[in-house]
Chains A and B, each alone.
Chain A
Amino acid sequence: MTAQSHRNPTGGRIDRARTLGFTFNGRYYEGHPGDTLASALLANGVHLVGRSFKYHRPRGIVGSGAEEPNALVQLGQGALTEPNVRATQAELHDGLAAASVNCWPGVRWDIGAINGLLGGLFPAGFYYKTFMWPARAWRAYEWFIRRAAGLGLAPREPDPERYDGTHAHCDVLVAGGGPAGLAAALAAGRAGGRVILADEQAEIGGSLLAGGGTIDGRPARAWLDDATAELAGMAEVRVLPRATVFGYYDHNYLGIAERLADHLPPAERAGRARQRVWKVRAGRVVLATGAIERPLVFDGNDRPGVMLATAAQAYANRWAVRVGDRAVVVTNNDSAYQTALDLSESGVAVALLADLRAEVPAALAQRLSRAGIEVAAGSAVVDAAGGTRVTSAEIRRLGADGTTLEGPARHVPCDVIAVSGGWSPAVHLFSQSGGRLRWDEAIAGFVPDISRQAEVSVGAARGTFDLAAALAEGARAGAAAAHAAGFGDGTATAPAANAREVIAPRPVWRVPSAGRGKAFVDIQNDVTAADIALAAREGYSAVEHLKRYTTTGMGTDQGKTSNVNALAILAHATGTAIPAVGTTTFRPPYTPVTFGALAGRTVGPLFDPARLTAMHPWHVQAGTRFEDVGQWKRPWYYPRGSETLHQAVARECRAVRTSLGIMDASTLGKIDIQGPDAAKLLDLVYTNAWGGLEVGRCRYGLMLKEDGMVFDDGVTARLGPQHFHMTTTTGGAARVMAWLEEWLQTERPHWRVYLTSVTTQWAVAAIAGPNARRLMAELCPNIALDAIDFPFMAWRDGTVAGIAARVFRVSFSGESAFEINVPSSQGMALWQALMTAGAKYDITPYGTEAMHVLRAEKGFVIVGQETDGTVTPGDLGMDWIVGKKKPDFVGRRGLARADCKRPDRKQLVGLLPQDPKEVLVEGAQIMADAAAPPPVPMEGHVTSSYWSATLSRSFALALLKGGRARHGQTVPVHAYGKTSWAQVTEPIFYDKEGEKLRG
Chain B
Amino acid sequence: MAEIVLRQSPLDHLSLDARAVAEPGPAGVVAGERRFVAKVNLRGDPADEAFVKVAKGALKVFLPTTPNTVDGKRDRYALWLGPDEWLVIGAPGTEGRLVADLRKALDGIVAAVTDVTEGRTVIRLSGVHARETLAKGCGLDLHPRAFGRGRCAQTRLGKANVILHQLDDAPTFDVYVERSFADYLWRWIEDGASEYGFAIVAEPIMAALKARRATR
Q: Is the CB of A761 within 8 A of B10?
A: no
Known: A606-B191, A675-B110. A169 touches B143 (CB 8 A): yes
User: Do the beta carbons of B188 and A758 come within 8 Å of each other?
Assistant: no
Kindly supply a per-residue 1/0 record for chain A positions 840-861, scoring 1 wherever the CB is within 8 Å of any chain B CB and 0 otherwise. Answer: 0000000000000000000000
Inter-subunit contact B6/A826 (CB<8 Å): yes
| Chain A 589-627 interface 0/1 with B at a Cβ cutoff of 8 Å (1 = within) | 000000000000110011011111110110000000000
**Which 4 pairs between the two chains have the least Cβ-Cβ distance?**
A754-B112, A829-B6, A609-B184, A611-B180
Q: Judge whether B158 and A760 touch: CB under 8 Å.
A: no
Query: Which of B54-62, B132-140, B165-173 lies on the face that meets chain A?
Result: B132-140
- Give the residues from 115 to 162 in chain B that come closer than 8 angstroms, CB to CB, to chain A: 115-120, 132, 135-141, 143, 145-146, 158-160
Known: A167-B138, A609-B181, A760-B120. A825 touches B36 (CB 8 A): yes
Tell me the complex Cα distance, A490–B198, Å.
42
A823 touching B112, Cβ below 8 Å: no
The one of A168, A676, A804 that contacts B135, using a Cβ cutoff of 8 Å: A168
Q: Say yes or no for A181: interface residue by CB 8 A criterion.
A: no
Contact call A760/B179, Cβ cutoff below 8 A: yes
Min distance, Cβ A504 to any Cβ of chain B, angstroms: 46
CB contacts (< 8 Å) of A602 on chain B: these are 158-159
The residues of A that contact B9 with a CB separation of less than 8 Å are 825
Interface string of A236-280 (1 = CB under 8 A from B): 000000000000000000000000000000000001110000010
Q: A166 vs B193: C-alpha distance in the bound complex, in angstroms?
A: 12
* A735 nearest CB across to chain B (Å): 15
Contact with A along B46-58 (1 / 0, CB 8 A): 0000000000000
Minimal beta-carbon separation of A279 from chain B (angstroms): 8
Q: Tell me if B112 and A756 are in contact (CB < 8 A).
A: yes
Q: Knowing A166-B132, A614-B179 are in contact, say whether A756-B41 is a contact too (CB < 8 A).
A: yes
In the complex, the chain B residue whose C-beta lies closest to that of A611 is B180
User: Is residue B8 contacting chain A, with contact meaning CB distance below 8 A?
Assistant: yes
Q: Which of B3, B111, B145, B195 has a CB less than 8 Å from the CB of A272?
A: B195
A777-833 with Cβ < 8 A to chain B: 802-804, 823-829
Q: Mark A28-72, 1 if CB is under 8 A from B, else 0.
A: 000000000000000000000000000000000000000000000
Distance in angstroms between the alpha carbons of A617 and B139 in the assembled complex: 32
Q: Which residues of A contact B139 (CB under 8 A)?
A: 167, 279, 281
B114 at the interface (CB under 8 A from A): yes
**Chain A residues closer than 8 Å to B111, beta-carbon distance:** 754
Q: Which residue of B lies closest to A607 (CB)?
A: B159
Cβ contact within 8 Å between A756 and B43: yes
Within 8 Å CB of A271, what residues of B? Answer: 194-195
Do the beta carbons of B159 and A608 come within 8 Å of each other?
Answer: yes
Interface of A: prevailing SS: mixed
Q: Which residues of A contact B114 (CB under 8 A)?
A: 672, 674, 756, 758
Q: Which residues of B contact A609 (CB under 8 A)?
A: 158-160, 181, 184-185
**Can you name the residue of chain A whose Cβ is closest to the Cβ of B96?**
A804
Q: B-contacting residues of A (Cβ < 8 Å)?
A: 164-169, 194, 271-273, 279, 281, 601-602, 605-606, 608-614, 616-617, 632, 672, 674-676, 752, 754, 756-762, 802-804, 823-829
- Give A194 to B141 CA distance when docked, in angstroms: 12
Whether the Cβ atoms of A823 and B117 lie closer than 8 Å is yes
Q: Does B212 touch A at the CB level, under 8 Å?
A: no
Bound-complex Cα distance A672 to B43 (A): 12
Is B213 engaged at the interface, CB distance under 8 Å to the other chain? no
Residues of A within 8 A of B179 (CB): 614, 760, 824
* Contact, CB under 8 Å: A167 / B135: yes
Give, as a whole number of angstroms, the nearest-CB distance from A541 to chain B. 45
Does A759 lie within 8 Å of B135, measured CB to CB? no
Provide a sorted-by-A list of 16 A–B residue pairs whose CB atoms are within 8 angstroms: A166-B132, A166-B136, A167-B136, A167-B138, A194-B143, A281-B139, A609-B159, A609-B160, A610-B183, A611-B181, A611-B184, A674-B113, A802-B2, A823-B7, A823-B117, A824-B10
Given contacts A281-B141, A601-B136, A609-B160, contact A759 B119 (CB under 8 A): yes
Q: In the complex, what residues of B have CB within 8 A of residue A272's CB? A: 195
Residue numbers in A under 8 Å from B216 (CB-CB): none
Do A601 and B112 have beta carbons less than 8 Å apart? Answer: no
Asked if B74 is at the interface (CB within 8 A of a chain A CB), the reply is no
Chain B residues with CB under 8 A of A164:
136, 192, 195
Q: When the two chains form the complex, which single residue of A608, A762, A825 contacts B7, counting CB atoms closer than 8 Å? A: A825
Within 8 A of A (CB), among B178-216: 178-185, 187-188, 191-192, 194-195
- A804–B96 CA distance with the chains assembled, in angstroms: 12
Closest to B120 in A: A760
For the complex, give the distance between the alpha carbons of A674 and B44 in Å.
11
- CA of A194 to CA of B120, assembled, Å: 35
Besides A606-B158, A760-B120, A825-B7, 9 more A-B contacts (Cβ < 8 Å) are A164-B192, A164-B195, A609-B181, A611-B181, A758-B114, A759-B119, A760-B118, A823-B7, A829-B3
Whether B136 and A824, one on each chain, are in contact in the complex, defined by CB atoms closer than 8 angstroms, is no
Q: Bound complex: CA of A847 vs CA of B115, how far in Å?
A: 29
Among B2, B9, B141, the most chain A Cβ lie within 10 Å of the Cβ of B141
B12 and chain A: residue at smallest CB distance: A617
B19 smallest CB distance to A (angstroms):
17
Task: Give, as a whole number of angstroms, the nearest-CB distance from B37 to chain A.
Answer: 12
Quote the shortest CB–CB distance from A674 to chain B (angstroms): 4
Task: Select which of A605, A676, A804, A823 is within 8 A of B110 by beta carbon.
Answer: A676
